[in-house]
Amino acid sequence: MTSRLSGSDLTLAYDHHRRVVAEHLDVRIPDGSFTVIVGPNACGKSTLLRALSGLLAPRHGTVALDGAAISSYRAKEVARRLGLLAQSATAPEGISVADLVARGRYPHQRLLRQWTPEDEFQVARAMAATGVTELADRAVDELSGGQRQRVWMAMALAQQTDILLLDEPTTYLDIAYQIDLLDLCADLHEQGRTLVAVLHDLNQACRYATHLIAMKTGKIVAEGNPREIITAELVEDVYGLACQVIPDPQTHTPLVVPAARSARGARSAG
Amino acid sequence: MSRRLTFRAPGIALRLDARTLWVSGALLLAALAAVTLTVVAVGIRLPLADIAEILRGGGRRADRFVLLDLRLPRVCLGLLTGAALAVSGAVFQSLSRNPLGSPDIVGFTTGSATGAVLAIVVFGAGPVGSAFAAVVGGIATALIVYGLTARGGGSVRRLVLVGIGIAAMLVAVNSYLISRARLDAAQSAAVWLVGTLNGRTWDYVRLLGIALAILTPPLLLLSRRLQMLAMGEDSARSLGVPVAGSRLSLMVLAVAICAVSTAATGPVAFVALAAPQVTRRLTRSPRVQLLPAAITGALLMVLSDFIAQRILAPAQLPVGVVTGAVGGAYLAWLLSVQWRKGNG
Ligand SMILES: Nc1ncnc2c1ncn2[C@@H]1O[C@H](COP(=O)(O)OP(=O)(O)OP(=O)(O)O)[C@@H](O)[C@H]1O
Ligand SMILES: [Mg+2]
């Protein structure tokens, strides 16, 4: 398995290295995969994505992009190869949807070449793919959470990178838009892009991932094809939740069904 | 969103905001009108025909002196310092995401004055020495404010609050120094309490012009990164902006521009605060507009100086008194708006 993006022996920490999130973490993103990262809140998924995209310098270890340390590239060069949809991003006050999406073109622009036909085309295409074309002239801060999420996705798409890292791209989206967005990701994957997405819905993860990474407190506890690794034991181990795993009636991928409250011996109220 | 104009030629592909373009044009015309008004009518009237005659090398000697040695250098210096303060203010407001993050509010201009006053009162410095000390004082103040807030995350709100505190302390320091000085030193130092264009010669224009010619082009080249930084550190970085380096260069240039301009005039209040905000309201654009803000700043400065020279004529007020009075009202309004929005 070849990998353009990988991290080896990573120690990831915040606050001048005082809060250590992960140690001795090795991760390889298989080329051309749709990799999905799952794990409980605060286990370090976003932190790992930030490190893989070069936003967070690891305290120890290196992230390698196309055979060289990611820190050795110029910021713009990284941004032409790898895009990131962050978990919480804020738009500048009053900026319009079209303007925000257009900023995804920044890594491809130069001082005198700021708005080429290619830029125009890619921005229009990204907005159409995420269904935000009708919102083009609206101010981003006046949109609903789900609309905003799709605008940020459009910006990441306009960046036209081979590798796309998405931190919880389906948050705020209603069920139909969640499936739309995952289908869009699957399309991109089929066109040859490498995708890495953090998802909380295990069943969606199992349906769409070609490679699944399960994390727990800064460690990778299992990875591989979801059909092979998702078991009731793994879910119990990672989330501490008793469950049953049955085949998905539509796709025959694993379907995680949490055990009923009574079967879990849930505490009685009061 | 307003209309966009696209310009494409081989090797060039630019997109400009239509409204920003015509607003800038209108501001430019207004600035031109203000300059003309000042040159013609600020004291004894010099009709345009006479001015044209003088510029061709003729005219009466007294008129030549008034125009070439008094009014023109003064109005030119006003244009330069107004534009410089506005650009510096726009950069700081954008980096701090807060209108109150302006160099005149967070103490950088007052710090320049402290440098100059110290040099005059303690070391008996002349005009050149005190201007130099003003540059040093402004930069030192910026370093102190930045140093006090950079530790522990360097939140923007803290930078503004610490800066306002430092500014208040420096005002006290300046008054104290002057009150303890000998009479003649106190007189020349007192000029530094309020910014003024009174008695400024071509020397000031030339020096400031050279300094700005060096400092401004790199700042304009960085203005696209400034736009991107407004998206927050992570987004800017993941779109390919080297965040730390860009922010540092932008701050250093903006501090330097503010410091050299304050060295030429003393601390002129509120232009750095108001010009970018006024521009933003006129263009209705969420982008930081360095050049349009510069035009607004130049216009505000020249107009204020016209008022300063006319209001108690023949006595000439320092321009800082006018900008202080008008700007103070503007600041009160701005604060009340921010307060109501709940992010004051
Ligand atoms: N900027 C930060 N400064 C300090 N600590 C942080 C920062 N961001 C995250 N952390 C800490 O690092 C740990 C991992 O956080 P991270 O955001 O990676 O979790 P996550 O797996 O993405 O969680 P979630 O599912 O809630 O998004 C948490 O304990 C969190 O408190
Ligand atoms: Mg997260």
What number of C-beta contacts closer than 8 Å exist between A and B? Answer: 84
| pLDDT interval class at A17 (50, 70, 90) | low
Tokens describing residue B29: 């015309």
User: Mind listing the pLDDT tens digit for each residue in B162-186?
Assistant: 899 999 999 999 989 988 888 888 8
* C-alpha closest to that of B255 among B144, B156, B114, B127: B144
In this structure, which residue's CA is closest to atom 16 in ligand 1?
A: A44
Sign of CA dihedral B270, B275, B280, B281: positive
Partner B contacted by A143 (CB < 8 A): no
What sign results for the dihedral spanned by CA atoms B36, B41, B44, B49? positive
Is B232 in contact with A89 (Cβ distance < 8 A)? yes
B231 with A99: CB under 8 angstroms?
A: no
pTM: 0.91
Q: Which residue of A has its CA nearest to B15?
A: A115
Please give the backbone phi and psi of residue B337, each rounded to the nearest 5 degrees, phi first. Answer: -65, -45
All residues of chain B having their beta carbon less than 8 Å from the beta carbon of residue A79 are: 238-240
Q: Does the pLDDT of residue A270 top 50, yes or no?
A: no
Contact B296, B238 (CB under 8 A): no
Reduced to 3 states, what is the DSSP secondary structure of residue B17?
strand
Report the pLDDT value the prediction gives residue A268, as an integer from 0 to 100. Answer: 47
Q: Which two tokens stand for residue B282?
A: 């006129």
- The mean of the pLDDT values for chain B is 90
Contact yes or no for B177/B189 (Cβ under 8 A): yes
Tell me what pLDDT residue B342 has. Answer: 58
Which-ligand-closest: CA of A85?
2
Query: Is B1 in contact with A112 (Cβ distance < 8 A)?
Result: no
What single letter denotes the amino acid at residue A158? A
The reported pLDDT for the residue numbered B343 is: 52
**Cα distance from B334 to chain A (closest Cα, Å)?**
16
C-alpha–C-alpha distance, residues B46 and B64, integer Å: 10
Please indicate if any CB of chain A lies within 8 Å of the CB of B14. Answer: yes
B11: which chain A residues are within 8 Å (Cβ-Cβ)?
112-113
- CA-nearest residue for atom 19, ligand 1, is A42
State the pLDDT confidence band at B98, using cuts at 50, 70 and 90: confident
CA–CA separation, A144 and A87 (whole Å): 16
B156: confidence class by pLDDT, cuts 50, 70, 90: low
Chain B residue with CA closest to A52: the answer is B238
Rg (CA), chain A: 19
Overall average pLDDT of the B202-216 stretch: 96
B286 at interface of A, judged by CB pairs closer than 8 A: yes
pLDDT at A136 over 60: yes
Closest CA to A235 of A212, A262, A210: A212
B309-317 contact pairs (CB < 8 A, 24+): B309/B38, B309/B42, B309/B43, B310/B42, B313/B43, B314/B43, B316/B198
More confident residue, B234 or A165: A165
Residue spans of beta strands (DSSP E) within chain A: 5-14, 19-29, 34-38, 60-65, 68-69, 82-85, 163-167, 194-198, 211-216, 219-224, 243-247, 254-258
pLDDT of residue B286: 86
Contact yes or no for A75 and B242 at CB 8 A = yes
User: Ligand 1 mean position to A15 CA, how many Å?
Assistant: 12
Q: Amino acid letter at A208?
A: Y
Q: A93 and B286 in contact by Cβ < 8 A? A: yes
Answer whether residue B277 shows pLDDT above 50. Answer: yes
Is the minimum CB–CB distance between B201 and chain A shorter than 8 Å? Answer: no
Confidence at residue B124, expressed as pLDDT on a 0 to 100 scale: 86
What are the b/e assignments for B73-99, b being 16+ CB within 10 Å? Answer: bbbbbbbbbbbbbbbbbbbbbbbbbbb
**Separation of alpha carbons B218 and B214, rounded Å:** 8
A227: Cβ contacts below 8 Å, ≥ 6 apart: A206, A253, A254
Q: Give nearest CA residue, ligand 1 atom 13.
A: A42
Phi-psi region of A66 (alpha: psi -120 to 50; beta: other; left: phi over 0): left
Question: What percent of chain A has a predicted confidence (pLDDT) above 90?
Answer: 86
Mean pLDDT of A246-256: 95
Structure confidence by residue, pLDDT tens digits, A75-95: 999 999 999 998 878 888 889
CA distance A236 to A241: 5
The residues, ordered by sequence, that sit 6+ positions from B318 with a Cβ below 8 Å of its Cβ are B191, B194, B195, B196, B197, B198, B266, B308
**A83 in contact with B, Cβ within 8 Å:** yes
A85-94, A165-174, B76-85: which has the highest mean pLDDT? B76-85
Residue spans per domain, chain A: 5-229, 231-270
The whole-number pLDDT of residue B185 equals: 86
Domain A5-229: CATH architecture, name and number where available: 3-Layer(aba) Sandwich (3.40)
- Helix (H) or strand (E) holding B4, with range, is strand B4-9
B228, A137: Cβ pair inside 8 Å?
Answer: no
Q: Is the CB of A19 inside 8 Å of chain B's CB atoms?
A: no
Which atom of ligand 1 lies closest to the CA of A43? 21
Residue-wise pLDDT tens digits, A21-74 = 999 999 999 999 999 999 999 999 999 999 999 999 999 999 999 999 999 999
Q: Residues enclosing ligand 1, CB less than 6 A?
A: A 14-15, 19, 21, 39, 41-47, 87
Q: What is the per-residue pLDDT across B284-322, written as a single tens digit (0 to 9) for each?
A: 888 888 999 999 999 999 999 999 998 887 888 899 999
pLDDT averaged over chain A? 93
Q: What is the DSSP letter of A110?
A: B
CA–CA distance, A198 with A184 (Å, rounded to integer): 15
pLDDT digit string, tens, across residues B51-65: 999 999 888 999 999
User: How far apart are the CA of A106 and the nearest CA of chain B, in angstroms?
Assistant: 6
User: What pLDDT shows up at residue B181?
Assistant: 86
Q: Which of residues 39-68 of A touch B (CB under 8 A)?
A: 50, 53-55
Which of the listed residues A47, A213, A216 should we mutate to test ligand 1's pocket, taking the one with most ligand atoms within 8 A of CB?
A47
DSSP A113: B
How many CB atoms are closer than 10 A to CB B233? 13
Query: In whole angstroms, what is the distance from residue A244 CA to residue A232 CA?
Result: 6
Fold classification of B36-343 is ABC transporter involved in vitamin B12 uptake, BtuC (1.10.3470)
For residue B344, the model assigns a pLDDT of: 40
Q: Measuring CA to CA, which residue among B126, B130, B119 is closest to residue B177?
A: B119
Note whether A90 and A99 are within 8 A (CB).
no
In tens, the pLDDT along B114-139 reads 999 999 998 888 888 998 999 999 99
B192: confidence class by pLDDT, cuts 50, 70, 90: confident
Q: Is this prediction's ipTM beyond 0.95? A: no
